[in-house]
């Protein structure tokens, strides 16, 4: 079965993945002399940096999701198919999906990465990751349902486990979700659940390394840790999680933490695609590419974003798996593909580090730009502005801004809904 893509005289560029890299490349090729086929398992683009706000009831999923077809509804050379890629045949230049197959002239792999549980099966089964909107919703449902269950739990130890939340991974996601949960504990949850004693609730942030925010400067990491501790978060560094059975988090030296909620933000890895040589993959299942983002050994297959492994100068272990490298690579590739048509030489990619940032809570953030580092209220405003402008769609930006403004002036959120799929009873 084919995906019913019309044949034209244009070269077909098949983009696998509608994340930051795939979406940016497709938008840059709108109106070009290429036929662009964008394949993604979802029919929408997800703004990953704000997943944690969906998980903590600060935003609705629709505020950070944008329909792909709406983005390209006036683009005659862009075709969208909702499917999952199952394999690649580089000899026949064909991609197979769960719905059928489609040929390509140029293939761009931009599938992103998924959660890495490092082979720990119990954690994979019982922990909650945050690499999609659906997983963020699952976390929101779990946390809120645990509070409901805690209301009627007579056993003190079981109630403690229902109230506790453990976050594993001290990167930006782990720091941000921990800070937001701490603010909920302080300002919101006591109003919603006056019968519960939230002094019994503990939020733990566990980091296997020596400090949180390992990708940022030591002073920024120290500031973030200070902010977290001021909010009441228990920050434990050099704390590697060994196991989790759904009730007890086990770390080294036989330390155990009772918790019914474990948020896993400790690592990512690419998903291998059938048909690609195993030798092309490196640590974290990233695909080796040259300075033009061409997959090693190919001139018609590219990899972009988190899944691409490019060694360059200050980045011998590949570029950071963040939005900026993905967007920059996509912009340059779009330009290089247009240059190819004109028989002009391609330009190599070099990462321009625009900085890094993380927010810890109200009026508290750390920001590192190439020329300055700053913290506190102004850093928090900077974080909000940058993320607001990066969201796709004016309506979505407005929704996010209204939610943020309302939360700021009222110390409250109005989205604490437990929404679960209904199960029809069998007759």
Tokens of 52: 């944690």
d(CA 404, CA 58): 8
d(CA 311, CA 291): 8
Buried b or exposed e, range 291-316, using 16+ CB within 10 angstroms: ebbbbeebeebbbbbbbbbbeeeeee
Task: Please provide the size of the chain in residues.
Answer: 427
368 is catalytic: no
Tokens of 247: 């009730």
Q: Which residue of the set 94, 135, 148, 176 is catalytic?
A: 176
d(CA 200, CA 153): 14
Question: Which residues have a Cβ under 8 Å from the Cβ of 168 and sit 6 or more positions away?
Answer: 127, 174, 206, 241, 262, 263, 264, 265, 266
User: Which residues partner with 309 through β-bridges?
Assistant: 288
d(CA 134, CA 44): 12
DSSP string, 304-362: -GGGEE--BTTBTT---SSHHHHHHHHHHHHHHHHHHHTTPPPPPP------EEEEEET
Nearest to 297 by CA among 272, 279, 317, 283: 279
Would you say 24 and 369 are in contact if contact means Cβ atoms under 8 Å apart?
A: no
Would you say 10 and 33 are in contact if contact means Cβ atoms under 8 Å apart?
A: yes
Question: Sign of the CA dihedral 241, 242, 247, 248?
Answer: negative
Tokens of 124: 């994979």
Would you say 287 and 281 are in contact if contact means Cβ atoms under 8 Å apart?
A: yes
d(CA 144, CA 146): 5
d(CA 223, CA 233): 14
Q: Which residues are catalytic?
A: 176
């Amino acid at each position: 079965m084919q995906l019913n893509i019309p044949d034209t005289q244009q070269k077909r560029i098949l983009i696998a993945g509608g994340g930051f890299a795939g979406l940016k490349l497709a938008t840059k090729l709108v109106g070009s002399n290429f036929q662009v086929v964008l394949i993604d398992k979802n029919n929408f683009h997800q703004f990953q940096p704000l997943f944690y706000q969906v998980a903590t009831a600060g935003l609705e999923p629709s505020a950070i999701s944008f329909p792909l077809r709406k983005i390209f509804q006036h683009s005659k050379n862009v075709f969208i198919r909702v499917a999952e890629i199952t394999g690649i045949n580089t000899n026949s230049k064909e991609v197979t999906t769960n719905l059928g197959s489609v040929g390509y002239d140029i293939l761009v792999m931009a599938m992103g990465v998924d959660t890495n549980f490092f082979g720990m099966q119990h954690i994979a089964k019982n922990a909650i990751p945050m690499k999609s909107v659906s997983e963020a919703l699952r976390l929101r449902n779990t946390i809120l349902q645990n509070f409901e269950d805690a209301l009627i739990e007579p056993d003190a130890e079981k109630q403690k486990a229902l109230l506790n939340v453990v976050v594993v991974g001290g990167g930006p996601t782990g720091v941000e979700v921990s800070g937001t949960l701490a603010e909920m504990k302080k300002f919101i949850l006591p109003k919603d659940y006056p019968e519960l004693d939230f002094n019994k609730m503990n939020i733990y942030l566990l980091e296997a390394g020596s400090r949180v925010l390992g990708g940022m400067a030591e002073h920024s990491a120290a500031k973030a840790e200070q902010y977290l501790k001021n909010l009441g978060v228990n920050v434990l560094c050099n704390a590697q999680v060994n196991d989790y059975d759904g009730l007890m988090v086990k770390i080294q030296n036989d330390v155990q933490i009772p918790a019914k909620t474990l948020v896993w933000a400790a690592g990512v890895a690419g998903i291998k695609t059938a048909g690609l040589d195993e030798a092309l993959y490196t640590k974290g299942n990233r695909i080796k590419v040259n300075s033009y983002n061409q997959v090693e050994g190919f001139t018609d297959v590219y990899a972009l974003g988190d899944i691409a492994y490019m060694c360059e100068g200050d980045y011998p272990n590949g570029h950071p798996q963040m939005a900026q490298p993905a967007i920059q690579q996509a912009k340059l590739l779009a330009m290089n593909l247009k240059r190819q048509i004109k028989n002009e030489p391609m330009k190599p990619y070099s990462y321009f580090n625009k900085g890094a940032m993380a927010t810890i809570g109200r009026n508290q953030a750390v920001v590192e730009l190439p020329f300055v580092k700053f913290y506190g209220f102004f850093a928090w405003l900077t974080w909000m502005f940058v993320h607001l402008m990066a969201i796709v769609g004016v309506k979505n930006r407005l929704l996010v801004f209204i939610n943020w403004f309302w939360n700021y002036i009222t110390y409250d959120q109005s989205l604490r809904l437990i929404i679960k799929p209904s199960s029809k009873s069998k007759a």
